[in-house]
Structure formats: structure tokens, C-alpha cells
Structure 1
Amino acid sequence: MLLGGIQTAVSLIYPPQCMSCGGLVGSDFGLCGSCWAEMYFISGTVCEGCGAPLPGEADGFRLECDSCLRYPRPWSRGRSALLYEGQGRKLVLALKHGDRTEIAYMAAAWMERAVQPLLGDNPLICPVPLHWTRLLKRKYNQSALLAGSVAKRTELEHCPDLLSRFRRTPALEGKTRDQRFKHLCAAIAAHPSRKERIKGRTVLIVDDVMTSGATLSACTDACLQAGASEVRVAVLARVTQA
């Protein structure tokens, strides 16, 4: 009773706010109606390679988007929770660059729904790594926050330092696909003390955004070289123009 009274008092003093615009909402970690209307969640028929939405109905065969057909992925399957547009893009940028780490808690619920088809064989969950200099500057790895939250919600094994980015690469925003792949070539590898955890395992790599797939490809290659039996990927948002 006492705890309930304290929570009620706190909610009166600090009412829940929309995670995007700051407007009042009914519960913590939620969005107001206006912001929710500008979220483009992915559902229905999707690409098996990256989770991008596809027209039509699933026919029992593997379906892939034009991008995945043009550039075959080294991973087996992928899923995305939403499109990198509207309020979704705003939230991703706030999580990545705006110190809005609390967004990861809300976003993990969306990702949990999207990744259900990828959870067979109890995959080992890991994030896309940051180089230590960028981590020092940013203070956190947004992909690690998402991976940890998804692992907690799905009750799956999680290794936040399974992969290491041992070579610093330039920011990839604005780079072409070829430039992205060139910069990331041989930049990511399995952490030397974590290779035994990868051998023979299915690995699920988590990231915030997929554009060209260069970063996820580098991570997948690192896992496969370390002996992973299969690699799957899950991202919060997909850039469909890539």
C-alpha cells in the first residue's frame, strides 16, 4: 500500500511523458497518439534477409527484397522492427547521439516481437561493437543497450563483448555502399577470450540501424570465422532506400 501511494505521488509530480515529444501519456516508456501515428512498424510479409516489408503474401518460399537479392548477405536471416522514417528515425538518433539511453527499454519490446522467428536454437545474442575511442566519447554503445534489453526480454544468453572493433573506422553516415564495405574490411573480429563461446553456436547480432549491411556483414564474417554454425541479425530500424 505504501509503495503504491509513493508511486501515485511521484506520478502526480512527474507525470509520464511521451518518449519522443515530451507530451503527457498514460504510462511510462510510451508514445503519445500523434507520435505513434508517425511510427512505421514492419509487419506482414517481410524479406528473410533483412526484415524489410514486401508486398503480397508469403508463399512458403524464401522471399527477399531487391537489395538482398542484389547483394547476398553472409548471415542466414534477419528482422527489423520498424522503418527508419518519421518518429522512428527521430528516436533512433536520440538513442544514438542524444544520451537518451532509456529509449532502448521501449525499443527492445518492439524488437522482441520482430525477432520471434529468429529465436530457434537458443541463439547467443551479441551487439555490434564500437571502437574503444568512440565508446569513450559517446559513453555507451546503443547497440549493446538494445542487445542487453532484447536478451533480458527473451531470456536468452547474452555476451556484450563477443565481438571487438579493433580498428577505428570513420563515421559511415553519407558514405556509399562500397565505401562502407571498404572501411569495415577486417575491422571487426571475435574477442580473443570469447571465441570458445562462438564455436558451434547460432549467433544473433543486434544493431540499431541497417543501411547497406556493411557493418552487420563484417560482424557476421567475424562470427563465422570464429566457428559459429549460423548467424542471424536483428535491427531496430531498416533504411529501405539502401
Structure 2
Amino acid sequence: MFDRHSIQKAITILGKGTLDILFPAQCARCSEPVDTASSLCAGCWPDITFISAPYCVQCGYPFDYNVGETPLCGSCIAKPPPFSSGRSVLKYDEASRDMVLSFKHADRTDQTPAFAQWMVRSAPDLLAAPCLIVPVPLHPNRLLKRRYNQSALLANQIGRLTNQPVAPTLLLRKKATPSQGSKTFKGRWLNVKGAFAVRPTMQEKLIGQRILLIDDVYTTGATLSACADCLLNAGAAQVDILTLCRVVRPANLSI
């Protein structure tokens, strides 16, 4: 089945108006028609929690109230992550779960433009300065099964929106680790230890660069930290992170 995203290039020559007539803009959550692409319908908007300040200046964890000019969460104080700063767009909860999982597992790649626009709007400071955009990779076995890497789709679209360079294959997932979804906090960190590597032919590309690491969901930070460590050890000057969703409090939600 064709969708708006998959045939967009094919009918560009006919103009945007034709595309809008054939495939009207849809709510990113429920697919109901909306006036503007990359938006939510009036029914879904109140249910989705967008993360805004105040939040931890290092990992982006949201606070209920202002805790100072440069607030740090307890986790970043206790165990500072290797990345310098981070931002997430949405709270991952019951309201956003199905929307995110359909993008991640159910071929809803047509949601990519909406999600990427939200990510760009949420992190103007991270995207204002030059950076190299790098997605968290999938292992080849999982990529073959899923057919696409949702983080790479987001990274490529963010690059197009901001004119920042993207290196979608710079990071490799060299270990076919089990899914993080059912693992404990400690288990998630052990699961991804040593799982990533920089593609040898691309290492020179990242030396001295500020990397903006892209992923779909921030849960414990284990995967993002493992990737950031790998990039810094290979010569990156700095790593910042940007994710679509953030698990704010532990919950029985599959990812």
C-alpha cells in the first residue's frame, strides 16, 4: 500500500498541491485528517505530553518545578553520562505509546516528517551550531527483519530540515543484543556494553566533530551512553543527544 511519504518524490513534479489532494495531512497519532502536516488533531493534542523546561541540562529529564539556572537530575549527578546535553520531545506514556510503536515496528514510516519536525523545534540550540547527525544503529539481523532503522529515518529528515550533514552508517551495532524492552535497569547497561563500533572507513569523518546522536526512545540512557562512549573514544569532540520520546518514570510499557 502506498502512502504519502513513500511516493512523495514521484509526484513532486506535479506540485505540493497535488500531493495534498491525493494524500491529505493526517494526525500523527490517529490518522484523522488535519489542516497542517506534522500536527496532531484536536482530539489527540491534549493527551500527548510535550516536554518543556525546566529539565536537566545534561540529559533532558523534565522537572515538575524550577530547580535553578543549570539544573541537573539525580542520575546525572550520581553518574554523569558521556554526552554533554540532551533533549527529548515527548513523554513516553500510555498516550504516546501506540503512536511510537507503530512507527518503530509497524511500518508507519509516513510519521517520519512529523516526528522530525517536532524534534527540530524542541532543540533549536542543539541544531544551531554545526554538528554531524548520527543515528543509533540496528544490528544487521534486526534491520533485515524490520527493513528500516527508525532512528536513521529521523536523522536523515532532521538533516534535510536543518541542512546539517548526516552520517547514517557511521556507527555499527556489532553485537546482536537481545531487545532492551524486558530488561532491568542494570540489565540494559550490561546488554549494550561493547555493542557499538565506529565504521573504520568513516572514523576520520568524526574526528574533532560535535556529534548529535539521534534515537527514538530514551529509557535508561544505556544505549545512548554506549554510543556516545564509542564516538568519543574514536575522536569525536562532543556528543549531544536528541530523542523523540523519553521514559519519565518507570512503567509497564513495552518499547
TM-score normalised by structure 1 residue count? 0.90
2:41 to 16, 20, 32: 32
1:168 paired to 2:176: yes
Take 1:90 and 1:238, find their aligned partners in 2: how far apart are those partners? 14
**What code does the residue aligned with 1:41 have?**
F
1:206 paired to 2:214: yes
* Count of aligned pairs: 238
2:57 to 12, 37, 48: 48
Take 2:67 and 2:160, find their aligned partners in 1: how far apart are those partners? 30
1:139 paired to 2:147: yes
**Structure 1, gaps ≥5 residues long:** none
Structure 1 segment 211-230 matched on structure 2, within 5 A: 211-230=219-238
Equivalent residue number for residue 5 of structure 2? none
Deviation at 1:119, TM superposition (A): 2.7
1:49-106 CA-partner distances (Å, limit 9, x unpaired): 221222334743x212233233321111101111102432222111101100111110
Identity value in percent: 42
Structure 1 segment 12-23 matched on structure 2, within 5 A: 15-23=24-32
**Structure 2, gaps ≥5 residues long:** 1-13, 251-255
Take 1:145 and 1:172, find their aligned partners in 2: how far apart are those partners? 20
Deviation at 1:17, TM superposition (A): 3.2
TM-score normalised by structure 2 residue count? 0.86
Structure 1 segment 1-242 matched on structure 2, within 5 A: 7=18, 11=21, 15-57=24-66, 59-60=68-69, 62-242=70-250
Is the 1:131–1:164 Cα contact (8 Å) retained in structure 2? Answer: yes
Take 1:27 and 1:119, find their aligned partners in 2: how far apart are those partners? 24
- Taking a change above 3 Å as real, the CA distance of residues 38 and 196 of structure 1, as seen in their structure-2 partners, is same
- Taking a change above 3 Å as real, the CA distance of residues 25 and 50 of structure 1, as seen in their structure-2 partners, is same
Moved more, 141-150 or 70-79: 70-79
Is the 1:40–1:86 Cα contact (8 Å) retained in structure 2? Answer: no
Deviation at 1:48, TM superposition (A): 1.3
In the TM superposition, structure 1's runs of 4+ consecutive aligned residues that sit over 6 Å from their partners are none
